[in-house]
Structure 1
């Protein structure tokens, strides 16, 4: 499937690189580098700035609006990039914009141990003790 942003009129392939460059306004790296492919993103329900005032989104690009719509339900960075048909590097730049504006929340995925009700501390102590004996 051809991403919607590719210019099919270009026969030399040059059009495929212009649009992502334009989407990011020439940026090649996000402001923050803590996004992994499995970072979970959710649209903020009541976005507030650091002073507690409601955040009014500035002029958003269509891609920003699509991300906010997609992240109404939690989604990983890789899922968002795939759904938009954009490279992960470009998607991370857009995600960082939205997080900086307070419109999108990002968190590390829940670990399997936390989801399963927590780690068995007795088991962890036994493993630790066994490793020390080696």
Structure 2
């Protein structure tokens, strides 16, 4: 996946900032303000009795695929090559649909502090942005 800003000189005349605006449906902030860079996101198998709802964007599907194993918000944003703010909006969409769960890192819950490995993973994810 290419970075969304790589298309500054688009051949089709489309503004490069249109895609993030489109996939978030014009929203600029997530519904929740408690999602942090180290919030862990995990995919939940869909409930077959629940209606499917609206069609998912490719980025939503990429998040579901990546979060089959728990992943931090920063890691997800780095993998999608999208701004963290856009990624948080997409995660919020999936959470509202019951397709993902979010939680603080287990190390932070148990010890009251952060695990060095988690901090390094977040740093590495941010550097990839």
The unaligned stretches of length 5 or more in structure 2 are 112-129
May I ask how many residue pairs the two structures share in their alignment? 109
Note the C-alpha offset of 1:19.
1.1
Separation in 2 of the partners of 1:30 and 1:58?
A: 18
Structure 1's consecutive aligned runs of 4 or more residues displaced over 2 angstroms after TM superposition are 4-11, 45-48, 53-58, 111-115
User: Helix, strand or coil for the counterpart of 2:7?
Assistant: coil
Q: Is the 8 A contact 2:24 2:90 kept in 1?
A: yes
User: What is the CA-CA distance between 1:37 and the residue it aligns to?
Assistant: 0.1
- Structure-2 residue corresponding to 1:18: 18
Q: TM-score, normalised to structure 1's length?
A: 0.70
TM-score, L = length of structure 2: 0.72
CA displacement 1:57-85 (0-9 Å, x = unmatched) = 53101110010001000000000000000
What does 1:1-134 align with in structure 2 at a 5 Å threshold?
A: 2-3=2-3, 6-7=6-7, 9-10=9-10, 15-47=15-47, 53-54=49-50, 56-111=52-107, 114=110
Which of the pair has more CA radius of gyration?
A: 1
Secondary structure at 1:106's aligned position in 2? Answer: strand
CA displacement, residues 67-105 of structure 1 (integer Å, 9 cap, x when unaligned): 000100000000000000000000000000000110001
Unaligned runs of 5+ in 1: 116-134
Verify the 8 A CA contact 1:55 1:101 in the aligned structure 2.
Answer: no
Q: Is the 8 A contact 1:77 1:88 kept in 2?
A: yes
**What is the RMSD of the two structures over their aligned residues, measured on CA atoms?**
2.6
